[in-house]
């Protein structure tokens, strides 16, 4: 079975490579929900990605993986910041607080579809305005839900996490391997 990642995310590619999996990338260009119940948002977005790729290339003999990750706080979904000011505003709201990183996982396998999700709680350290400004100036916020990258300098923003660290990076590995345990046997 061919693993097909329906995502342009370099973080997801890196995680699959770390697991020793062989895969292909077919980017899904689909409209994404940006607001609503966070679990529903990520599940719908992941499903749209996987389904679009399945329709484009076919699902026979493939495991097509769609993933969406969002940050959630106080009933609001924090997507990718529109610019540096938006990133700074997001980080200011996350500062010193606990939020949730929610990922949706859609698997299309031989025409059958499965939807899963995972939630990781992330607590930010209490940071000064100068520390937040310096982080934003570094540019890591670009293309990142919530405006931070835990696997890079953003690790310094975090006091603790509860749950799957790789979910915060962008791919809930535990949920993926629970849903598709055969991937562990396929690792090189």
Place of tokens 């693993």: 3
* CB neighbourhood size of 55 (10 A): 12
pLDDT for residue 92 = 97
pTM (predicted TM-score): 0.91
Is the pLDDT at 185 greater than 90? The verdict is no
Place of tokens 């934003």: 136
Residues marked as catalytic: 68
d(CA 188, CA 170): 22
Beta strands in the chain (DSSP E): 2-5, 24-25, 62-73, 76-78, 98-109, 112-124, 158-162
Q: For the chain, list the domains and their CATH numbers.
A: 2-186 (3.90.950.10)
pLDDT tens sequence across 7-58? 989 999 999 999 999 999 999 989 998 889 999 999 999 999 999 999 999 9
Residues 6+ apart with CB under 8 A from 80: 142, 143, 144, 145, 147
């Amino acid at each position: 079975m061919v693993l097909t990642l329906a995502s342009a995310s370099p973080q997801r590619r890196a995680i699959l490579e770390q697991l020793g999996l062989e895969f292909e990338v077919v980017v899904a260009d689909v409209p994404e929900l940006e607001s609503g119940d966070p679990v529903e948002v990520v599940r719908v977005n992941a499903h749209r990605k996987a389904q679009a790729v399945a329709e484009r290339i076919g699902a026979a003999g493939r495991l097509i993986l769609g993933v969406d990750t969002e940050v959630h706080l106080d009933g609001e979904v924090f997507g990718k910041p529109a610019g540096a000011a938006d990133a700074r505003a997001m980080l200011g709201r996350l500062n010193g607080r606990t939020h949730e990183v929610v990922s949706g996982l859609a698997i299309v396998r031989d025409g059958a579809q499965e939807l899963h999700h995972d939630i990781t709680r992330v607590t930010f350290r209490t940071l000064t305005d100068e520390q937040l400004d310096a982080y934003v100036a570094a540019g890591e916020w670009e293309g990142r839900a919530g405006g931070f990258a835990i696997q890079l300098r953003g690790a310094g923003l975090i006091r603790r996490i509860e749950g799957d660290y790789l979910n915060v990076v962008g791919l809930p590995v535990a949920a993926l391997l629970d849903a598709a345990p055969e991937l562990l046997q396929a690792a090189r």
